[in-house]
Structure 1
Amino acid sequence: MKLNSIIKTIALSTLVLCAGLQAKTTYVATTAIVEHPALDAVRDGIKVVLNENGYDDDNLKFTYESAQGQPAIASQIARKMVGDQPDVIVAIATPSAQVAVSVSKDIPIVFSAVTDPLGAKLVPSLEKPGSNVTGLSDMVNVKQHLELIKEFVPNLKTVGVPYNPGEANSVSSVAALKATATEMGIEVVESAAPKSSDVMIATKQLVGKVDAIYCPIDNTIISAVESVIKVGIDAQIPVFAGDTDTVTRGAVVAVGYDYFDLGRQTGDLVIRVLNGEKPGSIDVKMAQGTNLYVNPAMATKMGVAVPESVLTRATKVIK
């Protein structure tokens, strides 16, 4: 009788232990500064990689919060996440990454879609950052972008750039653009749009001053890019973009990354962290792969023709 009781006790303890192991949930808390197709695609790519690696509805808590373009909200979200103690914080875009890094020094942080991690002071070094932070940069080749614009506007002399001077990634992008444009004999005309509601006004201020408009990878501008497109159509100034998703929304052309694939690349880093690697020992990665999207209908609406050379090498032609 005593032996039977011992056996039952052991069996019950084993069941409780197994149930506890089965109940363990991995918590990945994800945030982005604003919702738009490129950043949404990053989030989706991360989730797919987690699922492919055995993290699903049974053992994964995956949350996503948007700061709606407001830095103050981004800070609130980051502080709440720290209080919730997730296994990993994933911060998409520079403003969200900056606040996450500022409020947590121990929870692993993986950033994504950050143009200039060093300029944004997210890490002291791209190689083995040595902290609780690593991630993926989407720094673009601005010379390649300007050369592409010149295929559409051969006599290009001036390029207008609406951007948010409050976004570190935008400041870095515009600085790189100006340096390269100067080498190519092109003048860059800036127009500040600190908020999404400022985008149309900022773009209208470029009318009559520029031969083309370029939208950098700037979350404020991209979130309201339809305003830029409208000005481009009305003023017959072609609008070009730094990301391919914006071409599906009306820009003429862009050579850039597939942001779902960037999400997958970010997801690989998250998996490494969940498997026990310290973020500080993982090099910050540079995004891989580029696509060329072109929108012939919008080119016509903005008064330019699509060169055959662009059509023949396009990854995707928007119908």
Structure 2
Amino acid sequence: MISIGINQFVVHEALDASRKGFLDVLKENGYIEGENIEIDYKNAQGEQPTALTIAQDFTNRKKDLIFAIATQSAQASYNATKEIPIVITAVTDPVDAGIAESFESSGTNVTGTSDGVPIGPQLDILKKVLPEAKTIGVIYNTSEANSIYQVNELKVEAKKQGFTLKEVGITNLNDVNAVLPSALEGIDVLYAPTDNTVASAYAIIIKLATKKNVPVFCAEDAGVNAGGLISAGLDYYELGRETGLIAIEVLEGKKPSDLPISKMKNPVIVVNEDTAENLGITIPSDILAGARLVGGK
């Protein structure tokens, strides 16, 4: 029986959706849990040492494949084994994370998908939705490599498009209540990147922003489901499905280094109609026409 270890960094809607998409694709392609595959799911609860312990345990028990969800779990898994195939998802930049030589070929035992979404097109949409916005706040965990990568890209694109950027750095969930209320002063919109700490704190972030009448623009749909205004980014369930197809190729004998690390091909726009109404924001009809709508009546 094939044994797959799942090393997920933290519980939140986006990463859970990736895992579901991955498992759904395996099942659809004849990999049935309890019949011909064993799934060993572990969650690090946001703790890097725990992610490493999980990875080491999977290595010691000689799993046939490790599915690592989020940058920290991918790094932990790669640190634990250079032999067992590792299929990753929700990793913004695997090269910067030190687990791959390039997207085209990792040169290692790693393949999978990235959740990187270009910032430029997101700002194009932000301008259409919030034409008066001049100052963007970005909340992110300063210790997450994936978030630093996105913020660096945001700095470049924001300057290019004439925005002022205000960084709101946090290191844990408790920081949100401590630093965000004052940081919301003087910004027109708050950008939430694909960040594990931010995703775990969507409810409080959006509540605080809404109190100040500041819309939240999200890099992925889970934030909009939680009350953010709009996302122009990822559907993590579909990303998980794409990752599952890559895992099947590995299980059928392909080397991870022979399979490029892919990015989601069709980013989606998601709009929360209730949030738009509550904030008095009219979403342009051309944006709505291509969007998935949540909330509303």
- Specify the alignment match of 1:127 in structure 2: 104
For the residues of structure 2 that align with 1:297 and 1:63, how far apart are their CA atoms? 39
SS at match of 2:3: strand
Please identify the structure whose Cα radius of gyration is greater.
Answer: 1
Q: Does 1:300 align with 2:272?
A: no
Shift of 1:303: 4.3
Q: Does 1:50 align with 2:26?
A: yes
- Specify the alignment match of 2:13 in structure 1: 37
Given that 2:219 and 2:234 are in contact with CA atoms closer than 8 Å, whether structure 1 keeps it comes out as no
Given that 2:142 and 2:148 are in contact with CA atoms closer than 8 Å, whether structure 1 keeps it comes out as yes
Output the TM-score relative to the length of structure 2: 0.95
Q: Which moved more, 1:144-153 or 1:224-233?
A: 144-153
Q: Does 1:279 align with 2:279?
A: no
2:4 is aligned, of 28, 43, 47, to 28
For the residues of structure 2 that align with 1:185 and 1:49, how far apart are their CA atoms? 43
Q: Which moved more, 1:166-175 or 1:275-284?
A: 275-284
- Specify the alignment match of 2:268 in structure 1: 291
- Say how many residue pairs are matched: 295
For the residues of structure 2 that align with 1:157 and 1:37, how far apart are their CA atoms? 30
For the residues of structure 2 that align with 1:286 and 1:149, how far apart are their CA atoms? 22
Structure richer in strand, relative to its length: 2
Shift of 1:308: 2.8
| Residues 157-196 of structure 1: pairs in structure 2 closer than 5 A | 157-196=134-173
For the residues of structure 1 that align with 2:115 and 2:53, how far apart are their CA atoms? 25
Given that 2:99 and 2:106 are in contact with CA atoms closer than 8 Å, whether structure 1 keeps it comes out as no
Output the TM-score relative to the length of structure 1: 0.89
- Specify the alignment match of 2:181 in structure 1: 204
Q: Which moved more, 1:150-159 or 1:266-275?
A: 150-159
SS at match of 2:53: helix
SS at match of 1:315: strand
Given that 1:257 and 1:288 are in contact with CA atoms closer than 8 Å, whether structure 2 keeps it comes out as no
CA RMSD of aligned residues (A): 1.3
| Residues 75-86 of structure 1: pairs in structure 2 closer than 5 A | 75-86=52-63
- Specify the alignment match of 1:7 in structure 2: none
Given that 1:293 and 1:318 are in contact with CA atoms closer than 8 Å, whether structure 2 keeps it comes out as no
For the residues of structure 1 that align with 2:17 and 2:76, how far apart are their CA atoms? 21
2:92 is aligned, of 81, 90, 115, to 115
Shift of 1:85: 1.1
2:36 is aligned, of 45, 54, 59, to 59
For the residues of structure 2 that align with 1:49 and 1:270, how far apart are their CA atoms? 10
SS at match of 2:158: helix
Shift of 1:301: 2.7
Shift of 1:299: 2.1
For the residues of structure 2 that align with 1:94 and 1:196, how far apart are their CA atoms? 18
| Residues 180-259 of structure 1: pairs in structure 2 closer than 5 A | 180-259=157-236
